[in-house]
Amino acid sequence: MRSTQRVTLSVAVVAALSLAACGDGGSDAESGPAPSFSPGTTMAKIAERGSVKVGTKFDQPGFGLKGLDGKPAGFDVEIAKLVAKKLGVSDKKIEFVEAPSKVREEYLQQSKVDFVVATYTINDKRKERVSFAGPYYVAGQDLMVKSDETVLTGPDSLKGHPEKKVCSVTGSTPAETIAGYLASPSQLVLFDVYSKCADALRTGQVSAVTTDNSILLGLVGESKGSFKILNNTFSKEPYGIGITKGDTAFCEFIHGTLTEAAGSGDYEKAWKDTAGTIEGAQTPQLPTFESCS
Ligand code: GLU
């Protein structure tokens, strides 16, 4: 075949494939008939596109962990799937984008993702750049240490042991909160993701890792007995779904979706299938939402 013919043929094939992809009106057999939304809303745009980009974590067992099959799994991933499904988007049309703590606001502001479900604490500083739906879960900051650690018993024991370094993640609320408990800023070691903190604890470069108990429980479970959580929480971390700042219609839509999921048992199932399988995890009740703004 001559090269011009080959090009013409492949253009025709691509066109036919795209027509086939569009032909289902942005929905497919798995997600049922396409829902209809007010024109111009985020919901309408996503439903029409038939696909969605979601920022999540890839290294947090129980909440967002990318497996060998390349697919992330966890409670956050299931929450994202519930929202996508209500938009008429099936699981296979969700593109999960790794969103480490520091880049979550940036990704939303730059429209790299449609929404973020990533152990993402709602707070006023972040609300200057993004909005949140939820909370859909409330965690608390804690410390994880090696199983044979006896000196560190909670955040208050850190100041008296400046040689014991503590690890957290850049751009996270636990990294900010722990600062008030340290002998000096150099006692804190920061990485971009928590799996690197777990590695540093394993190799003895740090003596503790601090973040939400929800994340630490997953890392303890993965450690096969090498790590323990101190079970001494010292903050409240309400997890929200990050959306574009001021998109109140999308926020209300997500609230409706979560409320329905709690009523149908889908919320509880999402938990039980994921984070709920980790030892020490307790089934949550859907918290009272903040108002959308
Ligand atoms: N929930 C906290 C935060 O949003 C810590 C967990 C994380 O870094 O994702 O900063």
Residues 81-101 pLDDT 10s: 999 999 999 999 999 999 999
Tens digit of each residue's pLDDT (9 = 90 or more) over 248-265: 999 999 999 999 999 999
Same domain (yes/no): 127, 271: yes
H or E stretch including 72? strand 72-73
Considering only 29-38, 56-65, 70-79, 268-277, which range has the smallest mean pLDDT? Answer: 29-38
> What's the 237 CA to ligand 1 centre distance in angstroms?
8
The enclosing domain of 97 has a CATH number of 3.40.190.10
Q: Give the pLDDT of residue 30.
A: 52
- 11 pLDDT band, cuts 50/70/90, is very low
Within-domain flag for 19: no
Same domain (yes/no): 191, 268: no
Compute the distance between CA of residue 145 and CA of residue 72 in angstroms, rounded to an integer. Answer: 26
| pTM metric for this prediction | 0.89
Same domain (yes/no): 121, 159: no
Same domain (yes/no): 272, 191: no
211 C-beta closer than 6 A to ligand 1: yes
Q: Give the pLDDT of residue 33.
A: 62
Within-domain flag for 8: no
**Domain region containing 158:** 141-229
Within-domain flag for 9: no
Within-domain flag for 14: no
Ligand 1 atom index nearest CA of 60: 9
Same domain (yes/no): 132, 153: no
> What's the 247 CA to ligand 1 centre distance in angstroms?
22
Within-domain flag for 3: no
> What's the 158 CA to ligand 1 centre distance in angstroms?
21
Q: How many domains does the chain have?
A: 2
Same domain (yes/no): 45, 179: no
